Structure 1
Amino acid sequence: MEPPKELVFSYFAGQATSVQQKVIGEWLTQPGSRERYFQWLDEWERAYPQYTPDVPHHLELFQQRLDTPADVESQSVRPLLNRSNQRWYSGRWLVAATLTLTLLASGWFFREPMFYTTISTGSHQLRSLRLSDGSTVALNSRSSLRVPRIGYGWLSRQVALTGDAVFDVKHLPDNQPFVVQATNGLAIEVLGTEFSVRSSVSQAEVVLKRGRVNLHYATDDRPAQDLLMKPGDRVTLNGRGALQLQKLPDTTQFAQWRYRLFSFNNTTLREVANQIQYVFGVTVQLSDPILARRTLTGTIRAGSSDELADALAELLGLRVSHRGQNLIFSTASEPQLTQ
């Protein structure tokens, strides 16, 4: 059971009792609790700023110590010459501090887990989350969202997506933009809107339901491209690095995978198979090439690839065989395949 936010804030402030600490510790063992914990931690730290060291100043002092070792010895080491144990501990501390500062300066000291939190979904999992600025994200299966742990909402609002997601972005009084980094080189910048993004290694798709979105795509080997989207626009980034705009006649079926609804309008079975493969991460095979041209119109609610495949087989008068992560569609007249 999730504890009240006020209780967790008391824990951050060091005011929680031993019983309350135990409640929070048990909550953190539950799946999904850590993402909420770090969201609240970021919110609490922004509301109650803690001491922030002047890193450039201390790095400069450290460099001065390296450049003038004689001064360092006269100021720090000489008074301790008759205290050998303390000198040894001071030397060990100095080595540790040197290593830590070097790693911090180079950006390698726990950079990924320290500065970002990543929320991921499995093959058959959907997930909804609310970011600390009030924006909401719905993640499709086999997707991940990377969010900064520190500074999100006041330094910047920039996240990175791999997979499929729907964003409902909250507009802030200072008009701070919200940026989604999708496939390499593609950035989606908004002020307040609802849109979906599908991002893979080399291809991407953005569909805008409401609001306005500015797309910016730039790589080292291609000139920059900018495109302003309006509601109902669908933009794809193809394998050749070109942005292609298409106007959707109907947005009522916008990202229906959030509700496990699958809508088809004269859709071929091959296109349906591709959608099943993308959403659920399974392999779909058609035993006869003729089946690929069969079409389907309607809406099916299904929570798994097996449910959707069985419904499709019943509607189209086909047979489907379930073999682990493989679905095989065949005609009813073909011999029954071993399950």
Structure 2
Amino acid sequence: MEPTKELLFTYFAGQATSVQQKVIGEWLTRPTSRETYFQWLDEWERSFPQYAPDFAHHLDQFRQRLDNPDETPARLIRPLPQEPRPFWHPGRWLIAASLTFILLAGGWFFREPLFYQTITTNAYQLRSLSLPDGSTVALNSNSSLQLPRMGYGWFSRRVALKGDAVFDVKHLSTHQPFVVQATDGLEVEVLGTEFSVRSRAAHAEVVLKRGKVNLHYKTANQPAQNLLMKPGDWARLDEKGALSLQQQADTNRFAHWRYRLFSFNNTSLREVVRQIRAVFGVNAQLADPALARRTLTGTIRAGSSDELAEALAELLDLKLSHRDQNLIFSTPTEIPITQ
């Protein structure tokens, strides 16, 4: 059974039944369905913005101000001096210099909001973006993408990423490169390709699905180096600046969050907990260190940290507790850890 657009919209709104969710999950296992899913997700997000202003409430407030204006005290007028001071009076120059300094300092501290646009997602949000040059970006939860407000596509195509994203870069007739600044030590330069980037505090990852990218990275006590990636390559830069490359990797299992899918292949529970922290921004813990050695293989569809945690607890026969906004996994017979 193939779900309709209306059924997908019901699912995005969190109103789908368990049977409908199962139908959608089976439909998503087909690779040809994922692009349609992503297009409908983008259409739903545009149709239902997160913020809906209360026009009636604010209009009522405005009318109340017109009917009952505030009484403002009369301004005290200071008499003008009998002998006007010359234009070059030192006091005036001091005020002008102070104002100039304040304006320059304010421009320096607020230069990023002035010159760059930052798009962010919260812990439960996935977002699709269309860049001015025709490239598209799928942004994971707890992620941000920064791009220039002016000159993008004309002077450069440079963006900065914190978090997880999938890029589908459009090739331009000018052959202008597309550059993703992932961390302080890693840049991804492309001409036209599809790839995913993970830029977190501990490490950065780049997975190339198709096309060609050139990595510019810095290692400890070494000058900047370049690495030309081929489709199927998976590069990982750790916090110490060490780069590892895995060739012929299964690119389909990366960035499954784009379709709210989480794939595990003999993955330890310690790594699963780390992924929950990275993707959803919530603190997940294991009550017993021995649980970290348990492994999991399979694919789970979950739109929130609670859905993923509950599915893990059911599959691994664990007890799930919520304490002070923390997710705690424990065996059914042990007492969960406390803060």
Compute the TM-score of the two structures, normalised by the length of structure 1.
0.67
Match of 1:334 in 2: 334
Alignment match, 1:222 = 222
* Residue matched to 2:194: 194
Q: Is the 8 A contact 1:103 1:109 kept in 2?
A: no
d(CA) in 2 for partners of 1:180 and 1:141? 18
Quote the offset at 1:128 in angstroms.
Answer: 1.3
Over the residues paired in the alignment, what is the CA RMSD in angstroms? 3.3
Q: Distance in 2 between matches of 1:219 and 1:234?
A: 17
Q: Which residue of 1 aligns with 2:286?
A: 286
In structure 1, runs of 5+ residues without a counterpart are 1-26, 34-83
| Larger mean Cα displacement after TM superposition, 122-131 or 186-195 | 122-131
Which residue number in structure 2 is paired with residue 325 of structure 1? 325
Matched, 1:240 2:252: no
- Counting only pairs closer than 5 Å after superposition, residues 104-123 of structure 1 correspond to structure 2 as 108=108, 110-123=110-123
Q: Relative to structure 1, is the Cα distance of residues 114 and 204 closer, same or farther in structure 2, using a 3 angstrom cutoff?
A: same
Give the fraction of aligned pairs with identical amino acids, expressed as a percent.
70
CA 1:213 to 1:223, structure 2 compared with 1: closer, same or farther past 3 Å?
A: same
- SS of 1:223's partner is coil
What is the one-letter code of the residue matched to 2:128? S
CA change 1:220–1:287 in 2 (3 A) is closer
1:210, distance to aligned residue in structure 2 (A): 0.8
1:251 aligns with 2:259: no
Deviation of 1:117 after TM superposition, in Å, equals 0.6
CA distance in 2 between counterparts of 1:336 and 1:110 reads 45
Aligned equivalent of 1:316:
316
Could you tell me which residue of structure 2 aligns to residue 276 of structure 1? 276
Q: 1:246 offset after TM fit, Å?
A: 1.0
Asked if the contact 2:219–2:243 (Cα under 8 Å) also holds between the matched residues in 1, the reply is no
**What do the CA deviations read for 1:231-276 (whole angstroms, capped 9, x no partner)?**
1111111222122111243222230011110111121211111111
**Mean alpha-carbon deviation: is it higher for 111-120 or for 99-108?**
99-108
Code of the residue aligned with 1:310 in structure 2: it is: E
Alpha-carbon distance, 1:277 to partner: 1.3
Matched residues, number? 258
Give the structure 1 partner of residue 76 of structure 2. Answer: none
Cα displacement (A) at 1:152 = 0.1
The 8 Å contact of residues 190 and 212 in structure 2, kept in 1 or not, is answered as yes
- Relative to structure 1, is the Cα distance of residues 332 and 176 closer, same or farther in structure 2, using a 3 angstrom cutoff? same
Distance of aligned partners of 1:221 and 1:105 in 2 relative to their CA distance in 1, 3 Å threshold? farther
Structure 2: runs of 5+ lacking an equivalent: 1-45, 53-83
Residue identity matched to 2:321: S
Q: In structure 2, the residue corresponding to 1:182 is in which secondary structure?
A: strand
